[in-house]
Structure 1
């Protein structure tokens, strides 16, 4: 749609439909005399042009189709300072065919990751700029030409060791931000990733925009505005140069109930415009104007000037290294790259290692093997051939682990982990050599180093891994840390255990059933139990008794059938009219009783109460108005988020058995589809072999039944 405002800008004067055939255009950009549309449900980027000068976009050209799903889909567009069109995609979208990569050519199969990709005005050349994101919806560039996004969390992972909150990321060339599905995300301290610019917390990110074109006071003209759909707020993120990147501080700029914000921009007069809506809720256009007197920026202090100049030079150096994030740059670049591998700035160090990984391995292999605890060894582990990996591990066993600082030690552990993943296993001599290097330094002083040392020593089969991990489990201050060590110990079945040690482990695991978390927690704890149970002998099971015999992880009672009588088949109109006449203060006690009577508590979480089968309702009033909530309750199938849809699988063979449930895991590399088939017991899962499936469809019917209010 194209909308005209009246002269005063206070009312909509005219609305014109530009196009109604492109489905769910999450990204729109006018550039190079054309309108570009990232049409998510059409699964493509389109260009619209006016070919005859009549002010109508009469030509629609398909520039690129992209495979994959639409949930975490084809999102925002932005024009880069280089004149290229930047597209930000979620992890449902496949990499565009024919793309070149600024990320290193890792020896891995295709992974589902969100990514930043750019193309030229004609959509002929495509290049992946950075990867390892989950569902970044918006993208914008600051005045220095640096791109930023606001990436989503996986709310079902809340409470688990690998949970990542929503976060703002400074997107740089060749970066992999480490998001992986199924609990396989890299730790935030991984040396081959990059630090979070700022963690925001729980939320549902949508658009982002710098206030550069606003007429707001100076601090807000420099700020990045990010939108949180779930909690109904606009957040201003204030950035300060720090080395080759930025340091940030966030504050709530605007909050509403509801304020389900989806997009924003700034007009030519400097006002902010934002839109609300989504999931078929009511949509509206808002404007925020600054009406105070013009404010000039305070002159920078000498310290601020020095910091800005230092950061400017650091960014220039990083950008120079990023020019070599492509093959064929020649051997002359190796010396300047090598010089920056030891930079104290992680962004420069990352740019240098990525540049090295793009160069022919033969030109730097020997130099890397002779480097002590250098990022070059990690680079060789990542992109070297199979014949290089034993040499990398051999170099690691010859290093004095305790003689290095924390950064180098984490680098050594990560290098070892990458080699092990690619090689599958180590020989006995290598295994014992690495254990002798790492074991004397475990436990260490820092939690991040302890987590990686524990992971490596359990994998290597250290005889001291079990008692040392149990000691750290006892000292752990958070449930995430406890779950980390419980998960590692469940994989240490081949290590020596005493019965008191097993008792300690199982008592801790039983307590973990009561941990707070979201949809993935019950299955995660049950997975730990099943792995640990598989390593027990019959005699051990008998001795441990009830500790190993627990079932599921119920947090509320099973719902009782037939406990209430039908009152009426309520309609949205009847309920809306009835609520309009309600006066006085609400009774929260009665509301809580109704919430339980309508069975909401059995499938939704409100604060720490309930079971997280469906959407979390803690902040639902921030994104849904009263009528939108009524529609969602009375007609639950009207809008069903992709993540909560049931899948219907019909098995091959004469039985034609039907399995229905929410898909927990359906990784393309696995031979089975894993479903949660009982919404009242989400820990109960069913695995279906893919080669036995006759048909697999997504149900349009919500798992939430209608009529839940009819007994009230």
Structure 2
């Protein structure tokens, strides 16, 4: 790897082109690679670019996140706005004779998918066809558009804030979705995606004429982009829910192999499925915390062979392009990630392979400074086009089963593969079975002796069978000798049993007799599922056994990406400090399960359990971490007796910290700060960062924003903010917070039928009542609004962050604060 100092002359947006001053930027790339900055996007005239595509003339079409479309001609260099009324796009694709546009924001036109064509032959796009309307999802709405290798389909990725298009008329997986939680789910403690249920984020494909729509895959949080690799397999990059960090349901950003009918298990709040659930598909490599954006295959590049075979995945937060190197592993892949390009202050958004074999990429988004770059290879390795590696036999078998997802399956082929050693084949076989008429196969279930096959059948019966059929299969599962199973099959059995009970209740089947004697197990994941099932069943021994395990001090085993962070200076001491103060994820899962157990509890057990919450509240986590702790504790109190609640209250555990207590003093005198004055502050390199951290708290920033796992949760985590924001961006965000409000942090404007209104964050809804936090500094302060009294709910145009928070600071104190913010890389 080597550092490249990028010195390029950037062209102005105004025509004729006027050279601007040289700009210096450091990036790290493998030896032999070169990166050039081609264009600095003038924010005022052209916004902040987030997507792009090549047109047939070799020009780039680009989109401002909140504005229109632009055409970029490289030789001679020229940028011009398109005349057609279109924009707010987060996905562009020029396919055959049309530009397909995926609009995520209603800033220019309605949210949805459009087809743009040139009806007059004058070279200008003028005809606009709306293929499908979508509910506005913003940054979690419609994203990338990708053509299939055979040219018959266009694939669309969409995040978890936009329901499926009404035009979808075929489902390669199931249309019998469920949240499928055995224990009551806790919604996100800060209200994120509280109303969004399965199928979550999704990938569909449609014909270029827009007449046929099919659901290919679902269960994503927010897969922004995807690409087909050398084998014609679709690869996507799904996002994490960073607010979950420090909880057992946190799932890092990950690379997904998008197989037919795949379900990746996103559910809101605590409900995200673990990778080992047999009715879901795991990722092929975890990346870690971040914000996935552009994905592009190395096919067509003039790069060395290993990079032509790679998938390049971009991270907006950490300014990194990962090269994902995949190797076949059974019927799917195992993968390794390489940090191909790294930098700071480079919020990556999209990438495409150019006709010249280079990769062109952009930085921008959320109205930050935007630019266009090009990566080329100038080393000595061979860059001849690769030939695809042979497809393994297991891939061929999976493909054979996936063809049966269209509904014309052969039971003689499907049934033996339900118990196949390869998980991807078992999954494909079960989906094929679910597409057959239920009556054609249910009669064979009672005679099945293989546990692994029976578990797959249980999933299919839970989804499509009656309550009586499901209970019959549950009775079969209850006869399995748990002690003779491998760890993998134990997990499959426990999930199969839990799924039936989640959908059809437990009935008269006594699973405690089957499972209680085997708890605890030697495997942590098996213990998680045993605790879940036994807590649901109100086992009389689950409390004592679980608390005994919670009493044992645990040494945290960080995930692979955390170990990488500990060796990589770019992640900084803030990340490492937070990793060192994480709670025991195993114990948090146990506490989450035990909240539903009503009896028997001894006084000592209650005290140990509720003392755990007080200790966990002192640990670090994402922005929803402490809210989850509080809500789980609240749920546990609701399941305690009145006498127990009085006893627990007398212990005075879990006092809530006051965000306004012990604020550092401010010297002042302040002034009415404006954006230009803050943007032009000088001498920040000599500012006092330690005092800047004090001013961060004094100005109430810490009441809403967290750094290093400490602080409030109403606003974005700022631990890595300087990796993507510059001084001018911070100035605008602080002085004019209403100008850009991310949909993740916006409040809702609730208009009531009596003419009054309420502004706040909707955290939950129970029994037709909305739970609304109306204090940005303290989400524990809530009011209740009956849904019947609500006339409308719309995004509030006013940011929950009040302006003027820095107006108490003098110039030096403000310099210290801004220097502190710019140190958070």
Question: Fold-level match, TM-score > 0.5?
Answer: yes
In the TM superposition, what are the counterparts of 1:168-567 in structure 2 within 5 Å? 168-295=255-382, 312-327=392-407, 329=408, 333-372=410-449, 373=451, 374=453, 375-427=456-508, 430=509, 433-475=510-552, 476-477=554-555, 478-493=583-598, 495-547=599-651, 550-553=654-657, 556-558=659-661, 565-567=668-670
Report the count of equivalent residues: 686
CA spacing shift, 1:598–1:247, aligned 2, 3 Å? same
2:37 matched residue in structure 1: none
1:569 matched residue in structure 2: 672
List gaps (5 residues or longer) in structure 1. Answer: none
Q: State whether residues 149 and 169 of structure 1, in contact with CA within 8 Å, keep that contact through their aligned partners in structure 2.
A: yes
Which segment drifts farther, 145-154 or 467-476?
467-476
1:148 matched residue in structure 2: 235
Q: Equivalents in 1 of 2:723, 2:665: separation in Å?
A: 34
Residue deviations 1:271-300 (CA, integer Å, cap 9, x gap): 111111111112111112212234268999
Give the 3-state SS of the residue equivalent to 2:608 in structure 1. helix
Q: Equivalents in 2 of 1:75, 1:444: separation in Å?
A: 43
Q: How far did 1:65 drift?
A: 1.7
Q: How far did 1:450 drift?
A: 0.6
Q: How far did 1:314 drift?
A: 1.3
1:97 matched residue in structure 2: 166
1:624 matched residue in structure 2: 725
1:672 matched residue in structure 2: 769
In the TM superposition, what are the counterparts of 1:19-30 in structure 2 within 5 Å? 19-30=83-94
1:594 matched residue in structure 2: 695
Q: State whether residues 153 and 166 of structure 1, in contact with CA within 8 Å, keep that contact through their aligned partners in structure 2.
A: yes
CA spacing shift, 1:670–1:202, aligned 2, 3 Å? farther
Q: How far did 1:36 drift?
A: 0.8
Q: Equivalents in 2 of 1:650, 1:298: separation in Å?
A: 60
1:34 matched residue in structure 2: 98
Which segment drifts farther, 165-174 or 621-630?
621-630
Q: How far did 1:19 drift?
A: 4.7
Q: Equivalents in 1 of 2:470, 2:723: separation in Å?
A: 52
Residue deviations 1:577-610 (CA, integer Å, cap 9, x gap): 332xx27544322222222222212211111332
Q: Structure with the greater relative contact order (CA < 8 A, sep ≥ 6): 1 or 2?
A: 2
1:578 matched residue in structure 2: 681
1:115 matched residue in structure 2: 202
Q: State whether residues 198 and 248 of structure 1, in contact with CA within 8 Å, keep that contact through their aligned partners in structure 2.
A: yes
Whether 1:50 aligns to 2:118 is yes
Give the 3-state SS of the residue equivalent to 1:418 in structure 2. helix
Give the 3-state SS of the residue equivalent to 2:94 in structure 1. strand
Q: Equivalents in 2 of 1:74, 1:92: separation in Å?
A: 9
1:74 matched residue in structure 2: 142
CA spacing shift, 1:13–1:414, aligned 2, 3 Å? same
Q: State whether residues 610 and 653 of structure 2, in contact with CA within 8 Å, keep that contact through their aligned partners in structure 1.
A: no
Give the 3-state SS of the residue equivalent to 2:430 in structure 1. helix
Give the 3-state SS of the residue equivalent to 2:116 in structure 1. strand
CA spacing shift, 1:215–1:299, aligned 2, 3 Å? closer
2:132 matched residue in structure 1: 64
Residue deviations 1:77-126 (CA, integer Å, cap 9, x gap): 00012320000000111111131100123264863510010011101000
Query: Out of 599, 605, 616, which is 2:706 matched to?
Result: 605
Q: Equivalents in 2 of 1:688, 1:479: separation in Å?
A: 36
Q: Equivalents in 1 of 2:761, 2:248: separation in Å?
A: 23
Q: Equivalents in 1 of 2:657, 2:619: separation in Å?
A: 10
Give the 3-state SS of the residue equivalent to 1:573 in structure 2. helix
Q: How far did 1:451 drift?
A: 0.5
Q: How far did 1:543 drift?
A: 4.0
CA spacing shift, 1:630–1:165, aligned 2, 3 Å? same
Give the 3-state SS of the residue equivalent to 2:128 in structure 1. strand
Q: Equivalents in 2 of 1:686, 1:138: separation in Å?
A: 39
2:52 matched residue in structure 1: none
CA spacing shift, 1:606–1:560, aligned 2, 3 Å? closer
Residue deviations 1:592-649 (CA, integer Å, cap 9, x gap): 2222222212211111332222111111111112211211111111101011112232
Q: Equivalents in 2 of 1:351, 1:496: separation in Å?
A: 43
Q: Give the alignment's TM-score, normalised by structure 2.
A: 0.79
Q: State whether residues 26 and 39 of structure 1, in contact with CA within 8 Å, keep that contact through their aligned partners in structure 2.
A: yes
Q: Equivalents in 2 of 1:67, 1:298: separation in Å?
A: 42
Q: State whether residues 553 and 683 of structure 1, in contact with CA within 8 Å, keep that contact through their aligned partners in structure 2.
A: no
Q: Equivalents in 1 of 2:718, 2:176: separation in Å?
A: 40
Aligned-CA RMSD value:
2.4
Q: State whether residues 519 and 682 of structure 1, in contact with CA within 8 Å, keep that contact through their aligned partners in structure 2.
A: no
Q: Equivalents in 2 of 1:253, 1:19: separation in Å?
A: 37
Q: Give the alignment's TM-score, normalised by structure 1.
A: 0.91
Q: How far did 1:509 drift?
A: 1.8
Give the 3-state SS of the residue equivalent to 1:286 in structure 2. strand
Q: Equivalents in 2 of 1:279, 1:379: separation in Å?
A: 43
Give the 3-state SS of the residue equivalent to 2:551 in structure 1. helix
Give the 3-state SS of the residue equivalent to 1:683 in structure 2. coil
Q: Equivalents in 2 of 1:315, 1:673: separation in Å?
A: 48
Give the 3-state SS of the residue equivalent to 1:694 in structure 2. strand
Query: Out of 687, 697, 702, which is 2:794 matched to?
Result: 697
Q: State whether residues 157 and 517 of structure 1, in contact with CA within 8 Å, keep that contact through their aligned partners in structure 2.
A: yes
Q: How far did 1:160 drift?
A: 1.5
Residue deviations 1:385-406 (CA, integer Å, cap 9, x gap): 3331111112112222222222
CA spacing shift, 1:411–1:709, aligned 2, 3 Å? same
Give the 3-state SS of the residue equivalent to 2:356 in structure 1. coil
Q: Equivalents in 2 of 1:566, 1:383: separation in Å?
A: 70
Q: Equivalents in 1 of 2:238, 2:273: separation in Å?
A: 15
Q: State whether residues 678 and 728 of structure 2, in contact with CA within 8 Å, keep that contact through their aligned partners in structure 1.
A: no
2:54 matched residue in structure 1: none
Residue deviations 1:335-388 (CA, integer Å, cap 9, x gap): 111121122211111111111111111111122232232222332223223331
Q: Equivalents in 2 of 1:383, 1:585: separation in Å?
A: 67
CA spacing shift, 1:344–1:686, aligned 2, 3 Å? farther
Residue deviations 1:487-518 (CA, integer Å, cap 9, x gap): 1111101x211111112111112212112122
Q: How far did 1:683 drift?
A: 3.0
Q: State whether residues 104 and 136 of structure 2, in contact with CA within 8 Å, keep that contact through their aligned partners in structure 1.
A: no
Give the 3-state SS of the residue equivalent to 2:336 in structure 1. strand
List gaps (5 residues or longer) in structure 2. Answer: 1-68, 180-196, 556-582, 810-825
Q: How far did 1:549 drift?
A: 5.3
Q: How far did 1:566 drift?
A: 4.5
Q: How far did 1:552 drift?
A: 3.0
Q: How far did 1:564 drift?
A: 5.7
CA spacing shift, 1:78–1:682, aligned 2, 3 Å? same
